[in-house]
């Protein structure tokens, strides 16, 4: 009976140590993931912040500056790249 109790206590200690190790590994992994996501969001924000809407013409229609040097895209060439940073 004493050996079973000793085994149970040993198992409990190993389990707690393993739980702590796994918790630290997860914390580290989530921290790295968060850094990566923040970096991607920052780059996306930089690209989006170069886009400016305005009003153009006598009818004051909404317009946006484009980059004509980037070319046209799509089957009917109706897609163009916005100007940005």
pLDDT digits (tens, 9 = 90+) for 63-80: 988 888 889 999 998 888
pLDDT of 84 over the 80 cut: no
Q: How many angstroms separate the CA atoms of 21 and 10, rounded? A: 17
Cβ contacts of residue 63 below 8 Å, gap of 6+? 53, 54, 55, 56, 57
pLDDT digits (tens, 9 = 90+) for 16-70: 999 999 999 999 999 999 999 999 999 988 877 777 888 999 999 999 888 888 8
> Residue 45's pLDDT is what?
87
> Residue 6's pLDDT is what?
92
Which residue do the tokens 């109790």 mark?
5
* Domain extent listing, the chain: 1-49, 50-85
Question: Residue 39 to residues 26, 27, 32, 75, 81: CA-CA distances in angstroms?
Answer: 20, 18, 11, 34, 23
pTM of the shown model? 0.51
> Residue 85's pLDDT is what?
54
């Amino acid at each position: 009976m004493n050996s079973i109790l000793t085994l149970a206590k040993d198992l409990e200690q190993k389990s707690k140590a393993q739980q702590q190790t796994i918790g630290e590994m997860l914390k580290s992994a989530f921290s790295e993931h968060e850094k990566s996501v923040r970096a991607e969001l920052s780059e996306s924000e930089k690209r989006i912040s170069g886009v400016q809407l305005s009003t153009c013409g006598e009818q004051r229609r909404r317009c946006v500056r484009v980059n004509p040097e980037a070319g046209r895209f799509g089957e009917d060439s109706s897609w163009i790249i916005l100007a940005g940073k």
